[in-house]
Amino acid sequence: MKAVTAVLMAAALFMAGCGYKSGVATGERASYLYFTGDVAGASVSVDDGQPFAVEAGHDHQYRVAPGKHSVKVYKGDALVVERNIYVGDGIAKEIGVGQ
């Protein structure tokens, strides 16, 4: 009888240690900028970083970290857009460039 009790107790302890563990796996946090309007010849600087050329439209999105950003759009040496924005995780923000 003691052996059966010991086996049942050992089995119960073993099964209690094999519980189902659940959690939520999340991907890397990212937000996106896209530009509309007259972007021909424009270059963009985010947070005073290295300027880069952009293409217009929702299909051309540029990845940034979620949070506050300073976005500057230049045409040649002229600053044509300067905006301080906040983008949330997974959000795509439109930046309009004037004619």
Domains of the chain and CATH, by start: 29-97 (2.60.40.1120)
Q: What is the mean pLDDT of the chain?
A: 86
The CA-CA-CA angle for residues 16, 24, 58, to 5°, reads 165
* Span 8-16, average pLDDT: 68
pLDDT at 64: 96
- Report the DSSP beta bridge partners of residue 94: 34
35-79 residue pLDDT tens = 999 999 999 999 999 999 999 998 999 999 999 999 999 998 899
Question: Is pLDDT at 19 greater than 90 in this prediction?
Answer: no
* Span 9-21, average pLDDT: 65
| Nearest-angstrom CA–CA distance, 54 and 62 | 8
Can you list the alpha helix ranges (DSSP code H) found in 1-99? 2-16
Task: Give all strands of the β-sheet with 31-37 in edge-to-edge order.
Answer: 61-64, 31-37, 92-97
pLDDT at 16: 63
The pTM score is 0.69
Question: Is pLDDT at 18 greater than 80 in this prediction?
Answer: no
Percent of the chain with pLDDT over 90: 66
- Report the DSSP beta bridge partners of residue 93: 33
